[in-house]
Structure 1
Amino acid sequence: MSDIKYILGLFEDPDEMLHGIDKLQENNIGIYDVYTPMPIHGIENKLGVKRSRLDIVAFICGITGTFTGFGMIYYMMAVDWPMNIGGKPNFAIPDFIPITFELTVLFCAFGMVSAFFFRTHLFPGRAPRVMELRASADRFVIAIDAKKGFDSQKIDELLKEAGAIEIKHNDRKYVSYE
């Protein structure tokens, strides 16, 4: 068994990269990830990436903000310090809708940012993990996990047939900036 962890196929054109993905999938070779310098429409479906559950996180955070807002207002105005202002009830719901709305938006925004940082491991102060530095500039990269038992010669041939301009065999997962 070799020390190669990942095989990277570098492409100049997104269409050639998509053709390379098709060739690899036709031969039942699993793709670890694809790195592109720009968004490519429909690549998630081609790779079988599951739909994001970020909308569920947003809903839960928003509902939490709504209940926190109503709970806070109820506690302040009806339990802790009830005041009689012009004969109005202590807990007049229409008066507190703006505060509740703002807390809903605040909780949703902070929850989404926190979920994003948690899911992508991009916490502030952490060095980014990059497999190929040119993937953010001008290259389209297909990464294949070489530890899965695939024949590296066959993968190299398939990538060359698809139009890869360069094929790299990485012995580590991420490239450092140093």
Structure 2
Amino acid sequence: MSNVKYILGHFEDPDDLMHGIEKLQENNVGIYDVYTPMPIHGIEEKLGYKRSRLPIAAFCFGLTGTITAFSMIYYMLVYDWPMNIGGKPAFAMPNFVPITFELTVLFAAYGMMFTFFYANHFFPGRAPRVMDLRATDDRFIIAVDAKANPYPDKIENLLKDAGAVEVKHNERKYVSYE
């Protein structure tokens, strides 16, 4: 049992999965992660995940795009190449709303994308981290860290009582697609 890193409980139904999470939490068993082939509403609150900070990052990137747009427009039309066109002011704000909006959206979108990739370790050439290949197909999987929980038989019985179809002991951290 010393090589086992994770105990995986396979479920066929999302309701059984939620019941399994409840059973494990009632018995103070720490859950490493849950893998599902589709989103399950309410699972984040049940597992105790905090709300994502991605919207804050999006706002910061959008603000950076707005400041960049105004800075570029001011530099180009007031400082670098001032022109008097029909007596209008060099830095007339309503004229620059479309450009400012476009740069705000561009910076926010690319910034969120790069932040998401960085936070989730989605780098080019990196193999995906998957506990079991069926987790992306048709199975709902609860992964329990075997090193942090000293009673594997108890965990296995709890998972089976909750409706697990199969309980596996994963010796490797991740399965590759090769």
> The TM-score by the shorter chain falls in which range?
over 0.9
Q: Which letter does structure 1 place at the counterpart of 2:141?
A: V
Matches within 5 A, 1:57-136: 57-136=57-136
Equivalent AA in structure 1 for residue 148 of structure 2: K
Secondary structure at 1:148 match in 2: coil
Cα-to-partner distance string for 1:47-100 (whole Å, 9 max, x where unaligned): 001101111011000000000000000000000111111111111111111111
User: What is the 5 A alignment of 1:142-157?
Assistant: 142-157=142-157
- Verify the 8 A CA contact 1:5 1:173 in the aligned structure 2: yes
Q: What value does the CA root-mean-square deviation take over the aligned residues?
A: 1.0
What corresponds to 2:30 in structure 1? 30
After superposition, residues 9-48 of structure 1 pair within 5 angstroms as: 9-48=9-48
Displacement of 1:147: 1.2
Q: Which whole-Å CA distance do the structure 1 matches of 2:150 and 2:46 have between them? A: 20
Q: How many percent of aligned residue pairs carry the same amino acid? A: 71
Tell me by how many angstroms 1:136 deviates. Answer: 0.8
1:69–1:100 contact (8 Å) kept in structure 2: yes
Whether contact under 8 Å (1:29, 1:150) holds in the other structure is: no
Q: Show CA shifts across 1:113-158 (max 9, x none).
A: 0111011111233221111100111100000011113310110110
In structure 1, the partner of 2:177 is 177
**TM-score between the two structures when normalised by the length of structure 2:** 0.97
Q: Secondary structure at the match of 1:147?
A: coil
Structure 1 alignment gaps of length 5 or more: none
8 Å contact kept, 1:5–1:170? yes
**Equivalent residue pairs, number:** 178
